[in-house]
Structure 1
């Protein structure tokens, strides 16, 4: 039976939608887990890691100890993060998860940054944090809030975000991220601390400031 042009177009449109959905996320795992090991003789290579034979997995492949230990925040930012990814827990491989402890000195700052491969959900354990993220162009709208113990906030994947301790006591937060290797790009470090440095001509025009200002900022990194 011949199909009309409208029917053919409808089939094409449906195929395009289904195809786009099929590639919209990571493929589903084909086994319960895929513990990452540094063994080139392992049989399967998944997400940049070799997989251990599942029959050899033990509880330690899914275990990490130490998020109860405060990090040293005696630095310029008054901030330190202890990030637990697939490199610390081999069992995270293919699961799309990681976790972090964030420690803040009084008025410490986790500076504006992005996670190119993960959304983040953050829960405040102690203290109070001013947090926020900026929407993409052209709006660049700041969405922010002060969080207290027990509060939770979400940072969408890829968007610039930050956390600032607004109290005079230390603050602690726990963050979960939707990638086994979320990555991080700290904006100031990337722009003013790249190696080799970005041309001063580029930065003066981008930020609309004097070259001396750019030279000063680059010297800080």
Structure 2
């Protein structure tokens, strides 16, 4: 039977597997994501909607300072959940990747390329000594050449493509609602209304209006406080 000291050794190191094949620090990072307010992504034929709930814990807080949605380039945006500072670092990684692609090849980065760059960077922090996993997850949305894409990355560096999904606190409940209400033929405006609906929590007295951004053939468009 494994002693407490052995358990603590696996618990403290992000790059050592436990005997049952687990990376505890990565699992803890996933739990950190669940402590953050929720973000939602909904893909339609005409674009992608990103929306994020905001917790305003004081009437003195400036709502615009709570940033959950970020523009990466003209046709890409991300929504975050988890530690805000960690998410900011990942947003910077995404923006640099988009700039490098543009400068090197004279073309905009594709959504799957952008997702790969971010997820590979995240994964490095699960196997490098002296580092810890990012305590944030991202929804990466893009629209190029008539093709809407929506990906999720988590603290392990795993990337998954979705039609509609949620990350952060209450994401399981929100995903269930999306499964019931999502229609792949819905319009962008219908998706905006659905995102607002699933992010509304009557029991959350600290909640403010969600921030929303839409990515279509016209580019990234912030709405209701999106960056």
The interval holding the TM-score normalised by the smaller chain is: under 0.3
Bigger-Rg structure (1/2): 1
Which structure has the higher relative contact order (CA within 8 Å, separation 6+)? 2
In the superposition, the TM-score normalised over structure 2's length comes to 0.25
From the two aligned structures, give the one with the greater helix fraction.
2
